[in-house]
Amino acid sequence: MGGALERSSDGERNGKDRVVSSTAGCYGEMLDACVACGSHEIHLWRTKRSPYADDLSSHEFGIYLCASCGTGFLNPPPSLSWLKSIYQYSGHGLTEPITLSEILAREARFPNSTVDAERMAYNADHLNHAGEKTALDIGSGFGFYTRALRERGYQTISVNPGQYENAVFKEMNGDEPLPILLEDFHDGGPFGVVMMSQVLEHLLEPDRAVQKVASLLVPGGALACAVPNFNSLTVKLIGTRDNACLWVPEHVNYFTVSGLKRLLENNGFKVVKAEQISRIPLYGLLRRLKAKGKLASLIEILISHLQAPFGWVLNLLGIGIYINIYAIKS
Ligand SMILES: [Zn+2]
């Protein structure tokens, strides 16, 4: 799914598309407050290296932790210019074009995006009491969320900077998203629903993004938001080796339910629903176990049976893999 990026104070100085190969220009300015709740009670938790550097030793990031809401974030954050240079070849993990049929084949085996999109579109629609059947899909990715919203009768606008994702989106939905970042979106709205799936963890200034989203919603309209859970079992078990949440430096913020609630409530929203979603990351697991052939098939069958009870337990304990949160514009 596509990530939109917000402006950093450092970003504009360094130029838009420069590929950075030294530390100069890699980092933004040091933050003195939590990106989610604004608390100044923050401290260094751990460090993690970025894989995208000529000289690996020079691209280490500090992960700071907020003592108040538990949210983590890179500090200093990467500069916007460096993030953009990474997205040129990384593009949310996509390094080459992919076709809709490849995506749909994956979905046929593990219908994750379809299920997530339908659940979030259903919830957002039921919480939207504004009577406005229009939606903005920010970071629209392959197009599953826009498709689900349209199936619920919404007129939609989608924004997403990733070219490869947008090509799949077009195959799925017939039109193309605006190939821009949220900060560059000016014409449109207000909307009854804003969808932000796997976006906020990418944004250098999430509070600015949330303020902007609030300004794009009609009063009573609903924001549906999904982010990785910093309190997840995998982060607890493998710490900074986790790459689902702690994907450095693409993910710059690592939210907890508490932090995300405060971010939204400080910026004009009332949070009305929060839930957790968990799945066993099959492809990552198969890669880690180097499983092929019959062993891989066996693991796949096992996982398909264990998925639901395993996820249920994690979510109950608050250590699920993803957070879904719904908020109403006041
Ligand atoms: Zn905080």
Burial of 55 (0-12, 13-18, 19+ CB in 10 A): exposed
pLDDT in tens, 66-107: 999 999 999 999 998 888 776 655 556 566 788 899 989 888
Is residue 73 within 8 Å of 35, Cβ to Cβ?
Answer: yes
- The alpha carbon of 229 and the centre of ligand 1 are apart by a number of angstroms equal to 14
Angle between helix 112-127 and helix 144-151 axes, rounded to 10 deg: 50
Q: Tell whether the model's pLDDT for residue 168 goes beyond 70.
A: yes
Distance of alpha carbon 160 from alpha carbon 143, whole angstroms: 10
Distance of alpha carbon 246 from alpha carbon 263, whole angstroms: 19
2 — pLDDT class (breaks 50, 70, 90) = very low
- The alpha carbon of 77 and the centre of ligand 1 are apart by a number of angstroms equal to 16
Give φ, ψ of 204 to 5 degrees: -65, -35
186 — pLDDT class (breaks 50, 70, 90) = very high
193 — pLDDT class (breaks 50, 70, 90) = very high
Q: Which helix (H) or strand (E) holds 104?
A: helix 100-109
20 — pLDDT class (breaks 50, 70, 90) = very low
- The alpha carbon of 157 and the centre of ligand 1 are apart by a number of angstroms equal to 32
> How confident is the model at residue 21, as a pLDDT?
43
Q: Tell whether the model's pLDDT for residue 148 goes beyond 90.
A: yes
Secondary structure of residue 249 in the 3-state scheme: coil
- The alpha carbon of 259 and the centre of ligand 1 are apart by a number of angstroms equal to 6
- The alpha carbon of 261 and the centre of ligand 1 are apart by a number of angstroms equal to 10
- The alpha carbon of 260 and the centre of ligand 1 are apart by a number of angstroms equal to 9
Cβ atoms within 10 Å, residue 16: 10
- The alpha carbon of 66 and the centre of ligand 1 are apart by a number of angstroms equal to 5
5 — pLDDT class (breaks 50, 70, 90) = very low
- The alpha carbon of 298 and the centre of ligand 1 are apart by a number of angstroms equal to 43
Edge-to-edge strands, sheet with 217-228: 155-159, 134-138, 191-197, 217-228, 322-329, 269-277
> How confident is the model at residue 116, as a pLDDT?
96
- The alpha carbon of 256 and the centre of ligand 1 are apart by a number of angstroms equal to 9
85 Cβ contact partners less than 8 Å away, ≥ 6 residues apart? 17, 18, 19, 20
What is the Rg, in whole angstroms, of the alpha carbon atoms belonging to the chain?
Answer: 19
123 — pLDDT class (breaks 50, 70, 90) = very high
Q: What is the mean pLDDT of residues 221-245?
A: 95
- The alpha carbon of 104 and the centre of ligand 1 are apart by a number of angstroms equal to 38
> How confident is the model at residue 301, as a pLDDT?
86
- The alpha carbon of 276 and the centre of ligand 1 are apart by a number of angstroms equal to 19
Distance of alpha carbon 222 from alpha carbon 195, whole angstroms: 9
- The alpha carbon of 252 and the centre of ligand 1 are apart by a number of angstroms equal to 14
CA torsion sign for 291, 91, 249, 273 is negative
CA 16 centroid distance within chain = 22
> How confident is the model at residue 268, as a pLDDT?
96
Is residue 90 within 8 Å of 52, Cβ to Cβ?
Answer: yes
What the chain holds in terms of domains, given with CATH numbers, is 97-329 (3.40.50.150)
pLDDT in tens, 40-75: 999 999 999 877 655 545 578 999 999 999 999 999
The proportion of the chain whose per-residue pLDDT surpasses 90, expressed as a percent, equals 62
Dig out the tokens for 264 from the structure: 């939204």
Distance of alpha carbon 314 from alpha carbon 321, whole angstroms: 8
Q: Which residue from 230, 272, 234, 276 is spatially nearest to 255, judged by alpha carbons?
A: 230
pTM, to two decimals? 0.86
- The alpha carbon of 37 and the centre of ligand 1 are apart by a number of angstroms equal to 4
Q: Tell whether the model's pLDDT for residue 150 goes beyond 90.
A: yes
- The alpha carbon of 307 and the centre of ligand 1 are apart by a number of angstroms equal to 32
- The alpha carbon of 33 and the centre of ligand 1 are apart by a number of angstroms equal to 8
Q: Which residue from 145, 142, 143, 193 is spatially nearest to 165, judged by alpha carbons?
A: 142
Lowest mean per-residue pLDDT among 15-19, 175-179, 300-304:
15-19
Q: Tell whether the model's pLDDT for residue 1 goes beyond 70.
A: no
- The alpha carbon of 169 and the centre of ligand 1 are apart by a number of angstroms equal to 35
Of 297 and 319, the structure prediction assigns the larger pLDDT to 319
